[in-house]
Chains A and B, each alone.
Chain A
Amino acid sequence: MAAVTQDTAVSTGRVTRTFLYVVLGVFALFYLLPLYVMGVNSVKPLAEITGGNMMALPRVWTLEPWRAAWSTAQIGIEPTGLRPYFLNSILMVVPAVAISTVLGALNGYVLTKWRFRGDTIVFGLMLFSCFIPFQIVLIPMALVLGKLGLAGSVPGLVMVHVVYGIGFTTLYYRNYYASFPTELVRAAMMDGAGFFQIFWRIMLPVSGPITVVSVIWQFTNIWNDFLFGASFGGTSQPMTVALNNLVQSSTGVKEYNVHFAGAILAALPTLFVYIVAGRYFVRGLMAGSVKG
């Protein structure tokens, strides 16, 4: 396939090709520049930054800002560093991603293979949730969390993100399973497999690409969420809120090197998920959009 694309692509001369790569390289550098600034300044002593020249490499290399950001920096009123909040985020994001993905897969399975009267309306209503702005639901959500006794806790945040994520994960899995041959489900039924056996043995094993999409999407959104975390986090605030508290503190000296290190720490998990699963991402997004 690759050979074919090369042959059929518009033929380009050596000069054009070089020009293209130079332009692409320049753009790549331009977009990498902020990361460079963050990286370089997170390993400098504060004095070098305040002394000017943000772009230069550090004269004295130090990991102290990272250590501070992780474990000793002043977050709000406690000098705990980002570590406990990182843990909060992990405790929130892992169950929230897992539960919303599993529920989305089950929904998609039911909406395509066990269709019932009014299933398209149910699906349409679920799609609505993809378009509701976060801010609108803050107050009703606070009421519900309060009634359930989950306000200000990690399980409360998990519930909020699961509820918000189901619309998207259902959309992904429904579209993916819509192109899954129904005859396979019928064959499994005749073979004697039940509802969950068909799901577990027939559908899930071929759901890899769409699961990657769902996990990346949910992980990124939940990890990066600030509004719900700030509103409902209470004493178990996630990483994003803590980072804000670290960076926005209005008293004392602004420790830019620590702030840079903290920001990178906050972005690392999503980066990790993208690198591990990213190559399936586009493949999964496309799956089900065209028959084939």
Chain B
Amino acid sequence: MGFLDISHVTKSYGQVQVLHEVDIAVQEGEFLVLVGPSGCGKSTLLNMIAGLEAISSGDIAIKGRVINGVHPSKRNIAMVFQSYALYPNMTVGQNMTFGLEMHGVPKPARDAALADVAKLLQIDHLLDRKPGQLSGGQRQRVAMGRALVRNPDVFLFDEPLSNLDAKLRVDMRTEIKKLHQKLKTTIVYVTHDQIEAMTLSTRIAVMNKGYVQQLGTPKEIYDTPANLFVATFMGSPAMNILPATVVMEGGQPHAEITDADGARRLLRFSQGNLAEWADKPILLGIRPEAITDPEGADRKSANIQPLANRVTVTEPAGSDTFVTMTLSGKDVIARMRADAMVAPGEVFDFAINMDKAVAFDPATEARIPQ
């Protein structure tokens, strides 16, 4: 049992079921990120925790208390909204203490709580301003301050960084992480940005079409995705997915990739248990950073497979160079050191770290356990 328990929760609007049997137990102090494309049900789930939407079936409990029918203000939760939702007619100070005032906290206690939080977020000089006079980053801080001031059991964040420009978003991301490390609060955070999910969370729930596709630590999600959706959704650029066949060569399973011109290439798998898939088609998943030049290959890897292929495009991004080649009719992206000597049009010796390769069942799209 967790601190925040979501058990068998579903949500339907009439005949349309938008959430199917969600089960997540969040531990105290955990930073859970719900991530997925728009329409996946992540915001609906958050709103159900907040009490803004009714639960169709199942239970949500905080500290063992089932809160299904409890009014949002009595759940001891606080929420940071996407639009910040600051009251335009009130000053920053009034915004932040409105919740305390509504809960009947006397003025001296409110002022003390306000002063603490304002200092923590470094917004003490803004307390007398109206939200309209603040910059985007400042509004974001005030919105967080309004949540913090109530000292709730659970914080809910609904895509809080999506209205900020790219630079500020990265800064605020770090700030939220720092805040979490300092305060050790329990957070449920909704985003569609997989980088936010990876960087902030202690655990991620990847959602799609109303189902939790995978629940796990960022590393588990990234390295051992449960299925094709998780594999391609998490990571940028996305994981390369290639149709391949498992063939046995010298007692070892290999992925056989057939090019458009009929040429066959063999890549030896690191794991032996794919033998039972011999002669069957699979989908081979290789992350861009697992394809490099031979000098840049991971020295810790026990299984680097060479692959010579023509380079179609190179995209130097400063810190890395992205190299595109064509394999079995698909564009495959490799992420290399910035100073890898690659030129478009030439045949290059790629090095593929097969320790990091994953295989999916083409029928179910689930990962084949290795």
Contact = CB atoms under 8 A, between A and B. Distances in A.
Contact of A191 (B51, B82, B88, B102): B102
Interface in A168-192: 181, 183-184, 186-192
B294 interface: no
Contacts of B88: 206
Interface in B76-104: 77-79, 81-83, 85, 87-89, 98-99, 102-103
Interface residues of B, number: 22
Nearest to B75: A190
A187 B98 CA distance: 10
A184 B87 contact: yes
B314 to A, nearest CB: 44
A62 interface: no
Contacts of B52: 186, 189-190
B87 A192 contact: no
A206 B89 contact: yes
Interface residues of A, number: 16
B78 A190 contact: yes
Nearest to B51: A190
B29 interface: no
Contact of B73 (A181, A184, A189, A206): A189
B102 A184 contact: no
A109 to B, nearest CB: 15
Interface string B54-77: 000000000000000001111001
A120 interface: no
Contacts of A188: 87, 98
B152 to A, nearest CB: 9
Interface in B97-123: 98-99, 102-103
11 contacts: A181-B83, A181-B85, A183-B81, A183-B82, A184-B85, A186-B79, A186-B85, A187-B146, A188-B98, A189-B71, A201-B87
A235 interface: no
B50 interface: yes
A205 B89 contact: yes
A193 interface: yes
Interface string A211-233: 00000000000000000000000
Given A183-B81, A183-B82, A197-B102, A190 B73 contact: yes
B81 A192 contact: no
A35 B367 CA distance: 86
B49 to A, nearest CB: 11
B79 A190 contact: yes
A188 B73 CA distance: 9
A187 B102 contact: no
Nearest to B80: A187
B83 A190 contact: no
Contacts of B81: 183, 186-187
Given A181-B83, A183-B81, A183-B82, A190 B99 contact: yes
A45 B161 CA distance: 76
A116 to B, nearest CB: 14
A281 to B, nearest CB: 22
